[in-house]
Amino acid sequence: MLRWLSPALAAATLCLVALAALAPAILAPQDPLAIAPAAAFQPPSLAHPFGTDESGRDLLARVVHGTAASVGIGVAATAIGVVIGGALGFVAALGPRFVDRALARLFEVLFALPTLVVALLFVAVWGGGAWSATLAIGLATIPGYARMIRARVRGIAASGYVEWARLDGAPRLTLFARHIAPNSLWPLVSAATLGVGQSIVWVAALGFLGLGTEPPAPEWGAMLDAGRVYLGHAWWMTVFPGLAIVATATALTVAGRRLAAGGAE
């Protein structure tokens, strides 16, 4: 029973996150931007389960409505990294040797830099905002996915069953479509699931630094930044957005590892 407890909790958490991202009004019908100065800094209560912030805005509404921004940017950034990184990985593994060497050196240089540092460099050039954060994180994650696909494709291309199919006269396109691509993409799915969780953390980091979505739009990282000033007497302003980040990233990590284990069986 304990073996299935973590996957079940992860699945329930992800369902809740998906509902909050797609239909936040179901969980929190309040306006996340409505200010009420007289109700500022109210602790968690029945009227405001997550309390209120310095402007009297309901924190439950802001956390729920901020899911779309935080998770949406994380998913979009991961999609950019997976698509471009996967394509470059296939090119490096199956293309001419000089292309492989050039891309391998480029991947090594970029992979040596922390992803958040690379994302900060991109944001410094393009400026802040949701689109800049999405592109920055997406481009910064390309080397990791590209290296993984390159290693996976090279191993499959050198495997016995691919060699037998090649000796049997199968065309290159058939080898790629029937043997190489299907066996290479499943690890990318599990890696992408893990990557979304990590991207959400990086989105929150950029938001915490003031480089994410523009205020007063709700976003988990920006809410952490706003709450740190009042941490001594309004702990709920930081705790609940932080819990949302941790719960979502943890659930995606559990799901990604489950997918990886299923693909290995």
Please spell the DSSP secondary structure of 214-244, one letter per residue.
PTTS--HHHHHHHHHTTTTT-THHHHHHHHH
Higher pLDDT, 189 or 1: 189
pTM: 0.87
Instruction: Please report whether residue 182 resides in a domain.
Output: yes
CATH code, 110 = 1.10.3720.10
Q: Kindly state the DSSP code that residue 58 receives in the 8-state scheme.
A: B
Instruction: Please report whether residue 51 resides in a domain.
Output: no
How far is Cα 137 from Cα 38, in angstroms, rounded to an integer? 39
Q: Decide: helix, strand or coil at residue 252.
A: helix
pLDDT number for residue 104: 83
How far is Cα 163 from Cα 167, in angstroms, rounded to an integer? 6
Instruction: Please report whether residue 177 resides in a domain.
Output: yes
Residue type, 58: D
* Each residue's pLDDT tens digit, 207-239: 898 888 888 889 999 999 999 999 889 999 999
Domain limits for position 70 = 56-264
Instruction: Please report whether residue 254 resides in a domain.
Output: yes
The total of structural domains in the chain comes to 1
Computed from CA positions of residues 25, 31, 32, 38, in that sequence, does the dihedral angle turn out positive or negative? negative
pLDDT number for residue 1: 44
